[in-house]
Structure 1
């Protein structure tokens, strides 16, 4: 892939699927009664766990697909459809596939550690971002491309941690309307990226069928 264009595409894909701002808004609600120091530890643990999951999918996703005899073009089409569904949810301000429902929200407020569930999964490392990690890494052709994708993923996770640390301020600045606007814009961008993944998969499948 062209390095500069690939980095920009990867950055936008990870930002809109992980959603640092949307994650921070939900994090603020889940930890409203938690001491500041404990919230910082929760945010750090959640991001580290989610980062490990996303990195594992990015590095090993292609190998797993080959074991299952699933071609990368087929996964690009399936992953593109998955991301498009998430884009529709974001655009129309419905809880996306990386969000949590009311039952999960009540469970998260019960006594216990919420760093793994629901913070790391499905809030940060949800179905959309996990699929995106495999799809973006599948576009790489050299070790430099792969390293750039992992660096972009790390930057996005660092931004997510920063947004979680500033969750209360973000909620105050944006309000409900601002958060909805961010979600809708992210949904439009994600829809375009999702369709491009589908086109790429269909184009490569056509090439394979002619070989």
Structure 2
């Protein structure tokens, strides 16, 4: 069973990686012209699909790595570096620009009914960062009880994301451009620290593996 500190760490890592406040203005752009009911349907469907995607990676991601011959230590280092890059983009406001560009392309190519799947669920909510973080956390919470707790943490994060999307208009108005920029940078710094910890843990795991290998 995971400790309270581990669960808080898992929740924070996923929350910062998914970044619900940062999704709010993009969601508004995606659902322009929709009624409140239609927006709710898109938010619910997108959040549910994203939860299913992340839950699958939580349960089977480590197994896939094993089949590919990738150690969890190596993936922690790679995943930590990826999360650090995302944190860098958040601090310097590059991630939001990239998300908005991806959204513009998606709207021209996909019918409005499909935006809950693409680009909302994948890659905006369950993006590479969230998937990497989920697999990394699944490696930390490796027992059956730990996996169940991680699924619970995922459900809590996606529920919060869904609620944030429901109040996206009010949240965007409340934060404003300055508030969003400050919050995104703050979350980016937190994510950078969490990413660094993943790299340190991965390096320790890799060194232990090397020292345990007979020469």
User: TM class, shorter-chain normalised?
Assistant: over 0.9
Provide the rounded CA distance (Å) in 2 between the counterparts of 1:151 and 1:25: 27
CA change 1:123–1:74 in 2 (3 A) is same
CA distances 1:95-154 after superposition (whole Å, capped 9, x unpaired):
269x52425324326643201111001110000000000001110143222222111111
Q: Is the 8 A contact 1:100 1:118 kept in 2?
A: no
RMSD: 1.7
Question: Which residue of structure 2 lines up, in the alignment, with residue 58 of structure 1?
Answer: 58
| Aligned 1:79-94 pairs, distance under 5 A | 79-94=79-94
- Say if 2:163 is the partner of 1:159: no
Question: Which residue of structure 2 lines up, in the alignment, with residue 105 of structure 1?
Answer: 104
Q: Is the 8 A contact 2:77 2:198 kept in 1?
A: yes
- Say if 2:49 is the partner of 1:30: no
Provide the rounded CA distance (Å) in 2 between the counterparts of 1:176 and 1:162: 21
Higher fraction of helix:
2
- Unaligned 5+ segments in structure 1 are none
| Aligned 1:1-211 pairs, distance under 5 A | 3-95=3-95, 100-102=99-101, 104-108=103-107, 111-112=111-112, 113-211=114-212
Provide the rounded CA distance (Å) in 1 between the counterparts of 2:125 and 2:189: 19
Provide the rounded CA distance (Å) in 2 between the counterparts of 1:47 and 1:33: 20
With normalisation by structure 2, the TM-score equals 0.92
- Helix, strand or coil for the counterpart of 1:100? helix
Provide the rounded CA distance (Å) in 1 between the counterparts of 2:143 and 2:95: 36
Provide the rounded CA distance (Å) in 1 between the counterparts of 2:188 and 2:122: 20
CA distances 1:4-50 after superposition (whole Å, capped 9, x unpaired):
11001001101000111111221012212111111110001101111
Provide the rounded CA distance (Å) in 2 between the counterparts of 1:194 and 1:209: 23
Provide the rounded CA distance (Å) in 2 between the counterparts of 1:13 and 1:103: 23
